[in-house]
Amino acid sequence: MTATEQPLQEERLSAYVAKLQQMKESRAVREILERELLLEFIRLNQSRINEFPLIETQQRSISELFTLRGLEDPLYEHVKAIIGNFIQTLNRYGKALENSDEDSRRSLIPDLSNLEVLLVKCIQGVVYITALTLDNVAETLATYFGDDAYKAIDDITVQEELGVRFWQRHIEHFIGKTVESAFVKMVSEERFTLRKEGNMLAMTYRFDDLLSYLGATPAPPDKSRIQQQFENQEADFETRKNRKLVLDYLRAEFSDTGKGFSTTDIGHIGQLVCIDPSSRQLSAALTFLHTGIQPEGMELTREQAVFITEQVQALASGMAIGLNVMREDFLRAPQMFSAKEINAIRNMLGPFDLNGLHRVLGFMLESQFMAILRQRFGEDAGKMQVRSLRERRVAASQVLALEDLGMNRIRRNKLWRQDPDANDYMLFQMHTVQELQRLLQLFQMESPLVRAVAKLWETARFKLEIKVGINLDLLSRTTTNLNQKLAEILSRFGISSL
């Protein structure tokens, strides 16, 4: 019988008992006993877990994350309680088998069956969050680097288990190597401007030019099955209503334990929980538990209703554990960034959602490009600086679409200006949300138009320019030949003449 086949329940129970007995005979400490039993549990239940990975390295990653690497997470206490009950009941089941006590053995099967389901849900939570995270990462990388990114992603996924090294391989390939290569191409093709600005000589690089060297323009991404299921939880009123119920339940349930989810994670985890069938029974279970009223089309006992809520808790716990471990691994992976930059990445990353990943990848590319420039400061670092300039940018077609809501030419010209480097985009004229609000009030814009403009502001990407400044006043104080010194500095950036 292979690991992918579905053993009959009693065969699974016998296999658990055999593994438990083996661990006892070897006098394994409690932690090792639990780990080995859980590894056996995962092996026997793979076919009961949706989206369980086919790649061996990722199978090991799931097992390691659930049985070892997630142990320090606060929410693992919830999982540990289920494991403890499972082992305790399994001991009783083993004794009944040993004593040929058929009545006792059969009476324990319902409890063991429920505990099996709860453990499967815990593992299912880890698998769901892992699958969604990796698919979101792959989609984000393909957005920047084109379809060729998938080849590198697949190679790393086959070779590396989930962990710090897994993320390091991605960062080394997609950030370290590609940004250095893009910089060399930008210099060779003179994709920069050099001009005097006051007492500064400024070299300006457009981030759009950097991005243009990263990969071919990708086709619209094909969503994976789990991405589609996740996004479908916002599809209509009923799914959004169920999502809110799950979110409210998780907030209340886990805040009581002092181990609540962070505000940045709760929405993501709650929405992912909703793809599991148990979440769609939660409303009925809670209604019955609070009022005693039987839901339409169902006949619940109190035990059944409680069991439904326990499944939702188990799923959410597994997801939170998996998310927390992956996030800490990811944040430990970059070796070229400062502590300040890592903290910024933490604040942007969130639960590995697509928006957060887009911000993080853009920030990493920007930071690495700036680091390459700083490396060329050399002994003149005190006389030079590098900074980034941002402007919110939206597609011109999105702005023109606002005409139906009352956006006329005068209003439009006060809010936006044409991007001089990209005809398909327009730049917001203001830099803060307070400036935007004052302008919206000044023009007394209609409420639907205000909401539409605010959404464009919130979802706008940034046009980014990276500027190196050489302070000519400071430089002139340390050299007798300013032009020769400038030529020396510029040569470090691949610029041969002023």
Q: How far apart are the C-alpha atoms of 177 and 457, rounded to whole Å?
A: 33
Please check the confidence at residue 205 and state whether its pLDDT lies above 90.
Answer: yes
To the nearest whole number, what is the mean pLDDT of the chain?
Answer: 90
pLDDT level of residue 16 (50, 70, 90 thresholds): very high
Q: Which amino acid is at 65?
A: L
- Alpha helices by DSSP H, listed for 256-353, are 263-273, 282-291, 302-332, 339-349
Q: Which two tokens stand for residue 52?
A: 């369980």
CB-based contact 205:191 (threshold 8 Å): yes
Q: Which amino acid is at 300?
A: L
Q: What is the pLDDT of residue 220?
A: 65
Other Cβ atoms closer than 10 A to 348: 17
DSSP bridge partners of 416 = 428
Q: What is the pLDDT of residues 433-443, one digit of tens each?
A: 999 999 999 98
Map out the domains of the chain as residue ranges: 9-126, 193-216+356-492
Q: What is the pLDDT of residue 451?
A: 93
Q: How far apart are the C-alpha atoms of 483 and 498, rounded to whole Å?
A: 9
Q: Find tokens 């400490």 and name the residue.
A: 29
Q: Which amino acid is at 55?
A: I
Q: What is the pLDDT of residues 136-145, one digit of tens each?
A: 999 999 988 9
To the nearest whole percent, how much of the chain has pLDDT over 70? 96
Q: Find tokens 């480097």 and name the residue.
A: 421
pLDDT level of residue 311 (50, 70, 90 thresholds): very high
Q: Which amino acid is at 62?
A: I
pLDDT level of residue 365 (50, 70, 90 thresholds): very high
C-alpha distances (whole Å) from 87 to each of 2, 7, 17, 473 are 24, 19, 9, 75
Q: What are phi and psi of 194, to 5 degrees?
A: -130, 115
pTM summary value: 0.88
Please check the confidence at residue 3 and state whether its pLDDT lies above 50.
Answer: no
Please check the confidence at residue 243 and state whether its pLDDT lies above 60.
Answer: yes
